[in-house]
Amino acid sequence: MVQGDAERWARDVRTIRVIGAGAMGRGIAQLAAAGGVTVELADVRQDAVRDAVEHVSAMFDRLVAKGRMAAADAAAAKDRLRPVGEPLTPLGECELVVEAVREDMDVKRELFAALEKACPPETVLATNTSSLPVTAIGAALADPSRLAGLHFFNPVPLMRLVEVIPGARTAGWIPDALAALVRRLGHEPVRAPDAPGFLVNHAGRGLVTEALQILSEGAAEPVDLDRIARDVLGLKMGPCELLDLTGMDVSHPVMESVWTGFYTEPRLRPSRVGRARLEAGLLGRKAGAGFYTYVDGAKREPAEAPVPADAERRPVWIHQGEPGEDGAEPGARETLGALLASADVEVEQGDAPSDRAIVLVTPYGEPGGAVAVRAGLPVERTLSVDPLGGFFTRLTLGVHPAVDRAAGRSALAALAATGRPVSVVRDGPAPVAQRLLASIVNVACGIAEQDLARPADIDTAVRLGLGYPRGPLEWGDHVGAEVVLDILEGLSLGTGDPRYRPSTWLTERAGLGLPLTGTGTRPADLTR
């Protein structure tokens, strides 16, 4: 079947069967019925089918009450819901069957083997698995070419992303046909690989694994990680509150599964912190305790650290990085200096700091202490301020072990005078926000490097599936591939940890001046 036929198949779909009447099955049924498709709901538990129809009908009524759906449209959608009971009730009218039963390989294989015998040969079969290999599920079929993954996200009506996952033997036209159907229903499809974590869960490892690595080093507290991620990077949720929301009993096994599935790729390595918290029962919101304490489901977040009232007011001198120098941000001196001056902080302009001045450095991919030593600055009075984000929101102050306590308190007071919230963290191999961002971008570049997904699909999946303000490759282009590469090379050199090995996709495109979001010219392009 060619592309046009795939599009025609999607337009002609009139009836689908959804097997499994739990949260995912209900959501898929609601989406399809609202999109003009008749939905046959089936489950081995008849009460579950009845409850699902009532639930979906109530959701349509709620949309009408909120003015988001016309009453006539809701009535028509309800009429398209058909409870059929048993999963194998004759399926002659169904163009598509979507399985949404529990995540168990044997259960899914047994169901599809029975469906293969019960369905007409032209009926397409789809699994909503979130973690099991589509190819392995299809291996139980006499004709695995008719099976593909169709992974919706919960809650289905609100989460617009759908991963379309071809197995190794899926017929070539089926992914295009399913993608066209998803678009018909008003959602956004992305082609995802039949690989551990598919696309969203794979790309999502960049944030949480690096956050846990930072915690394992004692470089920052969970609340500081979250505030930096929200305020500097613009994420809706920080990594620790995200882990609390999903539950460590869910998140840590996913991390281990993706890591082992890619044969212990260092970029995806889980953390001992996650395993320890899982074993301690610190699962997050569902347990009332995780990185935060929860009372009646509400997170108790610690207050911002107080600014020392007795800190001595001292002048500030800001290091001017040399253009092209590794770890330098030359424009930061003017930007940060103007911000401090506007808060009546004395900013020295000379070529060297006075004996009383607090020294601030603004490194990319390098510890502030290392910058101080290399530049011959007074180490005991030198602290780092992360330049990522342009100092517009939260300021991150890095403290190395040689900092004089009184000087550090003066630096904190000077930054707080700007009215910006300040997070105080340990001066590490790179500032916290830079580490999180570089990991997000590098993991996504690794996905593109392995040709697991197209750059546009990677960015769409992360924006819609994870709620990031930009897709990771778009984000890398926004910050600059060269900057991300500098951060990773600094981390790799400073730690010796292969988790920071820059992706070939990143290094090659940074060297050639190409965007991370484009594929560039491939060998096959010359022979087409």
Count how many Cα atoms sit within 13 Å of the Cα of residue 333 in the half-sphere of its side chain.
14
Q: Which residue, chain included where needed, has tokens 């079969």?
A: 125
- Whose CA is closest to 41, among 54, 62, 23, 26? 26
Measured distance CA(95)–CA(119) in Å, rounded: 9
Catalytic residue at 257? no
Catalytic residue at 128? no
Measured distance CA(498)–CA(238) in Å, rounded: 25
Distance of CA 521 to the CA centre of its chain: 28
> Which of these is catalytic: 128, 130, 271, 503?
130
Residues 6+ apart with CB under 8 A from 332: 318, 321, 362, 385, 387, 391
Measured distance CA(199)–CA(175) in Å, rounded: 15
Starting at the edge strand found earlier in the chain, the sheet holding 96-99 runs 81-85, 38-42, 15-19, 96-99, 124-127, 147-152, 161-166, 188-191
Distance of CA 367 to the CA centre of its chain: 26
Report residue 241: phi and psi, to 5°. -70, -30
Count how many Cα atoms sit within 13 Å of the Cα of residue 476 in the half-sphere of its side chain.
35
Lookup: tokens for 141 = 């079929």
> Which of these is catalytic: 99, 128, 201, 489?
201
> Which of these is catalytic: 40, 95, 99, 163?
163
Residues 6+ apart with CB under 8 A from 269: 209, 259, 499
Q: Which amino acid is at 478?
A: H
> Which of these is catalytic: 95, 151, 329, 423?
151
- Whose CA is closest to 247, among 212, 210, 286? 286
Catalytic residue at 201? yes
Lookup: tokens for 422 = 């300040």
SS3 at position 294: strand
Count how many Cα atoms sit within 13 Å of the Cα of residue 166 in the half-sphere of its side chain.
17
Lookup: tokens for 480 = 């600059």
Q: Which amino acid is at 45?
A: R
Catalytic residue at 151? yes
Run of H or E residues at 469: none
How many Å is the Cα radius of gyration of the chain?
27
Catalytic machinery residues? 130, 151, 163, 201
